[in-house]
Structure 1
Amino acid sequence: MALTFHQLIKADFSTLSDAVDKWRNLPEQLNTIAGSFDRTVTQGLRESEWKGEAAHAALEKFPVVDAQMKAASDEARDVYDLLNSALDAFRNAKKDLKLVQDYVRDDENLHINSQGTVYCAPPASVSAPSINKAYIETVHSCNDRIEAALESAEAADDALHWALTFDANGRQRGFNTEMASTIKEAKEERKTAQQDAKEMVELARLGDDLKTSQIERMNKLLSKYEGDPFFNERFTTGLGAKGTLQFWAEMADPKKEGNTRIPYEHSAARLDQLKSLQDNLSRTLASATQSDSVGMQRWEKQMIDLGGRRIGSDHAGDPFGFQVMSNLMREGSYDTDFLQKYGNALREDDKRFNEEPFSPSDHWTRNSTADLNFGEKDDRGQDPMTGFMEALGHNPKASTEFLSSNENFDYLANEREWPSDGTTDSGTDGSAGYRSLSHAFESATTGHAYDTGPSADMPPHTKEQAQIMTKIVHGVADPDDDFKLHEGMERSLGQMTAEYMPDVHHALSGGSAGGDTLGQLYPISGAQAKFSENDITRYMYELGQTPDGYKAINAGQTLYSSNLINYHYANPGDSGLPPLETLEEISSRNSEVQGIVGLARADSDIQKSAEGDAAFNANKDEWKTWTKSFATIGIGAGVGAATSPVGGALAAVALDDISGQMIDKLFGEPRDSSDSALYQAGEKWEDHKNSTLQATQDAAEISDKAHPSDLKEAQVERSIRDGHFTGSGYAHDVMKEYREQRGKA
């Protein structure tokens, strides 16, 4: 809605003025904090007697902190300059209106109507025709000045909004060091973004006639404006819903002669650009759906309406709208409301072909020649549910909401026949679909996108998240349940389990029957997943037989128990038990979890194969990266970190160092640079038990150095040993019958 005369003339800029005043002082305040940090913390550490690896790690991190504070100060200065520039523009525009208003008020022949338009209406005693003629130029001049003032204020408002919502970092975290600092700069940059969006639409309309260099140009601009809602909406609405579908169908799979399942062969250079284009388009469209403008509401409705129809294209075998759009939903965070509507429409369309004698394969893949996805070999992009699951996997709120519906969960997890979607007619067994389903599960149960990993600022689990996790655990554990653990799901389910380790420990300690004080020993903030002991042990055993499931639970449990030991060393009274009994309890539960997955690995057909150890120990660097991310949540999402005598920033560094030492030992890069991983157990059950015991002893030793106690080394070691043998024995006993039923024992 356009700004009106009366809105501007009555506008109160006091709130904006207060904001300008606050931002004026912020840069210097940040500089003061940075200087104080350097003098009191950095310099204090250098001159202190605190030595060793933790101190060294702290000194390495402090320059990063200093650089971030400098960047924060620079951005605060830009924000102040921008807001101050906007305030001047608004005040000047209002001043211009008041000048016109005063001028009109002083002339008995001039008036302003309710729309803010100046007109001539002389008194009845005066000759109207002659006066009206004499005032023609004056009236035009007044109205031109009003229009100019309104346009100036509105342009300043648009420019301010653009500058404050455009994040040049895109997906990356950090301060925006390229922010416009004046309204003039913002106007120019916004105009450039508008022109670039128009150029992108024109290029997209060329379809497969695009040269590879032009695709590269599209990728460059789409990537540049990833964090610009204005550009993304302009591009998306300019292309239109149907135009979007037709563009991607033509780019991904240009028309080919005959009816063949052999993918179209793009040149290597073009293929690289097309892969990037798919990702960039996905993020651009996702960003655009966050807008509630009339244009985007129309686009979203049209996209859903087109989903069940063929798009009317000569390319990609004329696919259905859902098939094309879902392949542009694999990256970025789509609007939650749009995902609910899209997903419900897709489910209803899909269910029509999930009844005997039909299946989704008959509808989406069996008679399709389309190649719409530049991804894994088992995922041509013909099954639209796969791409939609990826969209849910990147939006935790949407995935939790969608999968909290029993109808949606049961259909996807239990009822649907996920089609094989690979480059051959056999051999993929729906693996791409099940993998994407697990990504949606991970997002829905953890509160973060499946491919970003947990972080220190994650909120606690919600009731809905915990309930979904409980259903998944029960489904995998219960042989009579239609939910099965399919190939491709192991990694996400394993990582989810790691983030629910406090809940796992509650379940293994008797659950609600274990007493009201379990929360003191294993703190949980937020909702608890109510696993039965039977379910969680069988679930972990099933996951532990797969390399990715084993690695996630093994690493997650090692870090969780290590941080838990550290927590109770720092807070010796919190458990309600004497310190040695606390250690024994933690050691017992840790060894029970590790014992279950250790047995699972030993029983695994994969482990028994020639590639066994290699499969279970593969991708070490990749898993080390995930474990570092997992370590940031300490003893659980939303639970406070361990306190420390060093306090504040130094406490965080000390905690990082404890996790760092355990991770290095876990993944074979200990700080003494020895050649093998201390905890890299192979197929032998005894090796795994010894590895678990050593890890727990190490965690206690490291924690005691960070939070010195009066406990004697021999007492600590005995408590950990006693707990370890109890837990390991219980793991063997509790899994005996189940393993026998499965022919594993």
Structure 2
Amino acid sequence: MTHLTFDDLYHVSLASLGSAADDWKEMVDQLETLATDARDGMVKQSEAARWAGVNADVTRPFVRKTGKEFGDAHAEAKAIWAMLRDAHKELAALQSALKQAVDIDAKHKFIQVTGLSDGTVSCVYLHRRDTNDVQTQAQLDYKDRLESRINKLIAQADDIDKSTAHALKTIHGGNSHDFGHAKYDSLDDAQSARAVQLARKSLAKYRDGDELSITELAELKRLFAQNSKDREFAVDFYKALGPKDALRFQAQIALDASAEGDKTQFKLAHSIQTSMGEALATATRPPTGKDDPNSAFREDRDYLGKAWQTELRRVGRAPLSFERKNARVEIRGYQVLGTLLRHGSYDKSFLTPVAEDMVTFERKQRWAWPGPHNSYAGLGVDRFGLNLDKDGGPGWDPMTGLLEGLSHSPEASTEFFNGSTGEGEHDGLKKISNLDYFLGDKDGKGTREWAYGAAGIKVSDTENFGKEALGHALESATSGRPYDSDAPAKNHTQEQADIFDSVVKRVAANPELFKGDGELAPIAGSLGNMSAEYMHDIQRVYAGGDDSGYIKDTGAQPDLSDYQDKYKLNKFLKTTAEDPEAYATITRAQEAVTSETLRNAIDNLGPNEDLGDAAETAVIPGARVEGNTAQGRADAIAAADDSVKKAEEYNDSLEAGDGWLGRFTDLGIGVIDNVPVAGDAAGWVIEDLREAILNHKAQSPEDAAQEVQENRDAYLVAEREKRAQEAKQSFYDSAARAGLDIHSDSVKGAATRVYNASYNANAVEKS
């Protein structure tokens, strides 16, 4: 099959295509007039005539057919015009983007773009006399991104070309003497219809023990990749197939791809799975302004509304059976849905009811999610399953996919973890909060049973994938951002802060669940991220409130203010810090917030305020965080089978997270006088933070491990001394940048007070 090439798209004049579309629009208007005249004139007169005999039996049916043909001709012309109109519009936009990339972006960077025989391009830097023709890694990365961008534009144009050609052929039909074949309102409409046609073909073939060809799968992949975020395409596809056939189709291509081991087929099926998830998110997201249940809108075209979603939940609970090569798989619809929910950002009006229904069904039916039938064991397949992602397990446990979906859908996640199941009209279940269902009650009992294999046997890797997904969902629920987003932080809502508060208290009440080999230890990294997210609030708790105003306001605060809550916060931080990755994240956040708070204290010092008082107030909360995390690290090293290796893991984690420094400044932590840090100032903020963080490394993991094992208290005292000296130096640096004389008695006295305050605050109580 021929492909549209770079040269085709770059050099072609689209003027004739635009003219053809205009001509067909004129034809549509003329045929509409003829069709109206035929319907309201000739046909009406024929129907009204008092004919009998031959006129009644032959002439009247002939007139009816002729009138219908005029209508069909108008409909066909309208569909052809729609295809040409949309093809011209989209190809023109792609050609414009291509010329921007080639004529401006590439030339500006002295990059030559060359079309290759397979239709793609190659980008190379041109020889320049004023350089040695050696590019930096950043330049090479830019070239690769540009090449990928151009090739993507060509691939999109090729998809449009093929879809338009297929649609025009279908509209015309096989009988040139008859109008009235396929009718499309847009190119999206035609592409959706083709995707539905291929999906139905797949379902039919599967019943006969066959499957789509690689060529057909590739076409489906292109259709979905191009249109997964297009509302018209997504709604039309899922509306036409319906929930049951959509899930069956997804399940069978996933099972075949994972069972047969063909790399090409697997790659295509994986892409389709990803795009189908994104398309489902698109189709179930209420149009802007149309999420009011009392508003009127065309649900069948704009949105998969209540009726479709209700049917999806019914199908989700229902069994689905698949047979292939004398093997049988019996699963539930929700297990398939879980693989789709992993992809896309879902509206809470769709995802929260689905999540609550999945939990309710699981609570009512033990072992609700069956694994593969034992006869599949003979296939010798390593990764047979529904989920085609590299991570996340085989997909038999749909909660993993659901939680990953929540992790990318923060509004739904926040709503879900503030909600509960049980005490419904017909479920007969005790009311349990969704947070308790996954994390256990205040005594650590009743945590969800994770990851089933065949016959209910647990699979540890799959279990950990699910628990990590739980951590990701909690990050999303407490931050208001997708867990893996680099977007700036938002001020926290009370609902988000309440979830973090509940997580802190559950971890503090049952620390053994969350560390070492504990049942929920895989979420420790996420606990570290949540701690970083709420570091301003954590330090505000240790400050006993923030009457000074030095600590940045980040919205609603978790309720951790009384003495018992501070004790719980200590326990939470110590427990979380037993994970090296979480320890490093908390350390970065603590250093960044303390640095910001210290700068605010010095830069905003009032005329009657004492410098030493202000500096002490700024550093004490961070020192208390450091004291807790230092104890957690010492406990983890002491408990490890290989203490030296554990100490090395802490060092590696501190070195590996440099990207977090930029993120913290992006979150507004790098601020002076409420003005975001930029330019040289941003450089020294990040450099100071980097140095402070790396000072937390154990200079010798062997020595650190030995010190912890022989005299843990002496090790912690040495850490307190290091942190206090660093706090003193940080104060001097901030004072110098604020223009203060660091050799003056007042600054020196304040520095000594900072040292003492940090040293004493770092010695938090044992627990």
TM-score normalised per structure 2? 0.63
Corresponding residue to 1:364 among 352, 364, 369: 369
What amino acid is aligned across from residue 682 of structure 2 in structure 1?
A: D
Q: Could you tell me which residue of structure 2 aligns to residue 47 of structure 1? A: none
SS at match of 1:527: coil
Matched, 1:309 2:342: no
Q: How do residues 261-660 of structure 1 correspond to structure 2 at under 5 angstroms?
A: 264=259, 266-267=261-262, 270-290=265-285, 293-294=299-300, 296-297=304-305, 298-314=307-323, 317-353=329-365, 360=366, 362-365=367-370, 371-375=385-389, 379-406=393-420, 407-414=433-440, 415-421=446-452, 425=458, 427=460, 430-453=463-486, 455-456=487-488, 458-479=489-510, 486-511=520-545, 517-518=547-548, 520-532=549-561, 533-569=566-602, 571-573=603-605, 577-604=609-636, 608-610=640-642, 611-618=645-652, 623-635=657-669, 641-643=671-673, 651-654=677-680, 656-660=682-686
Deviations 1:455-489 (A, max 9, x none): 33x43100111111111111111249999871211
Q: CA offsets per residue over residues 164-187 of structure 1, 9 Å max, x none?
A: 999x99xx9xx9997999xx99x9
In 2, distance between residues paired with 1:161 and 1:418?
A: 53
Residues 701 and 732 of structure 1: CA distance in aligned 2, closer, same or farther (over 3 Å): closer
Q: Is the 8 A contact 1:226 1:232 kept in 2?
A: yes
Matched, 1:712 2:714: no
Unmatched 5+ residue regions in structure 2? 1-17, 43-50, 52-63, 99-144, 165-186, 288-298, 375-383, 421-432, 441-445, 709-714
Residues 653-668 of structure 1: pairs in structure 2 closer than 5 A: 653-654=679-680, 656-662=682-688, 664-665=690-691
Tell me the alpha carbon deviations over residues 580-605 of structure 1, each in whole angstroms, 9 at most, x when there is no partner.
Answer: 43322222211110111011100115
C-alpha separation in 1, matches of 2:505 and 2:481: 22
Whole-angstrom distance in 2 between the partners of 1:214 and 1:490: 44
Task: Give the secondary-structure state (helix, strand or coil) at the position aligned to 2:387.
Answer: coil
**Cα separation, 1, equivalents of 2:579 and 2:660:** 17
* TM-score normalised by the chain length of structure 1: 0.65
Q: 8 Å contact 1:437–1:489 — kept in the other structure? A: yes
Change (3 A) 1:643 1:587: closer
**1:311 aligns to what SS in structure 2?**
strand
**CA, structure 1 residues 619+502, in 2 after alignment: closer, same or farther (shift >3 Å)?**
closer
State whether residues 521 and 574 of structure 1, in contact with CA within 8 Å, keep that contact through their aligned partners in structure 2. Answer: no
Distance 2:704 2:90 in 1: 55
The structure-2 alpha-carbon separation of the partners of 1:658 and 1:213, relative to structure 1 and needing over 3 Å to count, comes to farther
Identity rate of aligned residues, in percent? 21
CA distance in 2, matches of 1:586, 1:313: 63
Contact 1:537 1:596 in 2 (8 A): yes
Equivalent residue number for residue 83 of structure 1: none
Distance in 2 (alpha carbons) for counterparts of 1:575 and 1:252: 70
Separation of aligned partners in 1, 2:724 and 2:521: 31
Amino acid at match of 2:521: E
| Ranges in structure 1 where 5+ consecutive residues have no aligned partner | 1-85, 105-111, 121-128, 130-135, 256-262, 354-359, 739-745
Asked if 2 retains the 8 angstrom alpha-carbon contact of 1:310 and 1:321, the reply is yes
CA distance in 2, matches of 1:216, 1:380: 23
Number of equivalent positions: 598
Tell me which amino acid in the other structure corresponds to 2:617.
E
- CA drift of 1:390 comes to 1.1
Separation of aligned partners in 1, 2:663 and 2:722? 23
CA spacing shift, 1:299–1:720, aligned 2, 3 Å: farther
Distance 1:658 1:234 in 2: 54
CA distance in 1, matches of 2:413, 2:555: 19
Letter in structure 2 aligned against 1:588: I
The change in CA–CA distance for 1:93 and 1:561 in structure 2 (over 3 A counts) is farther
After TM superposition, the structure 1 = structure 2 runs for residues 163-174 of structure 1, keeping only pairs within 5 Å, are: none
Structure 1 pair 521–434 and aligned structure 2 pair: CA distance change class (3 A): same
Contact 2:403 2:469 in 1 (8 A): yes
Cα offset, 1:568, TM superposition: 4.4
Shift of 1:431: 2.7
Query: How many angstroms does 1:401 deviate by?
Result: 1.0
Cα deviations by residue, 1:362-417 (Å, 9 ceiling, x for unpaired)? 33257866722245778332222221111111100001111111532222322342
| Change over 3 Å in CA distance of 1:119–1:365 after alignment to 2 | closer
Q: What is the alpha-carbon distance in structure 2 between the residues aligned to residue 508 and residue 542 of structure 1?
A: 17
**2:513, 2:519 within 8 Å by CA — same for their partners in 1?**
no
Instruction: Judge conservation of contact 2:475–2:530 (CA < 8 Å) in 1.
Output: yes
Change (3 A) 1:469 1:703: same
Post-superposition CA distance 1:64-96 (Å, at most 9, x none): xxxxxxxxxxxxxxxxxxxxxx9xx99x999x9
Contact kept in structure 1, 2:371 and 2:453, CA below 8 Å? no
| Contact 2:581 2:653 (C-alpha < 8 Å) held by counterparts | no
Pairs within 5 Å for 1:44-193: 190=188, 193=191
C-alpha distance in structure 1 between counterparts of 2:467 and 2:90, whole Å: 40
By how many angstroms is 1:247 displaced? Answer: 2.6
Q: Is the 8 A contact 1:628 1:663 kept in 2?
A: no
Cα distance in structure 2, aligned partners of 1:582 and 1:165: 58
Distance 1:203 1:278 in 2: 17
C-alpha change, 1:719 and 1:218, in structure 2 (3 Å) is: farther
User: Secondary structure of the equivalent of 2:322?
Assistant: coil
Q: Secondary structure at the match of 1:328?
A: helix
Matched residue, 1:201: 199
Deviations 1:217-258 (A, max 9, x none): 544543333433333334433443222322333233349xxx
Q: Partner residue of 1:46?
A: none
Task: Report how far residue 501 of structure 1 moved.
Answer: 1.0
Distance between the aligned counterparts of 2:69 and 2:321, measured in 1? Answer: 54
2:406 partner letter: L
Of the two structures, which has the highest relative contact order with CA contacts closer than 8 Å and spacing of 6 or more?
1
Tell me the distance in 1 between the aligned counterparts of 2:511 and 2:524: 20
Structure-2 separation of matches of 1:149 and 1:231: 22
Query: Which amino acid in 2 is paired with 1:290?
Result: R
Q: CA RMSD in A?
A: 5.6
Q: How does 1:720-735 map to 2 (within 5 A)?
A: 720=751, 722-733=753-764, 735=765
- Contact kept in structure 2, 1:475 and 1:481, CA below 8 Å: no
Checking the alignment, whether the CA contact within 8 Å between 2:191 and 2:223 is kept in structure 1 is no
After TM superposition, list the pairs within 5 Å mapping 1:664-679 onto structure 2: 664-665=690-691
CA contact (8 A) 1:403 1:444 kept: yes
Does the aligned pair in 1 maintain the 2:599–2:672 contact within 8 Å? yes
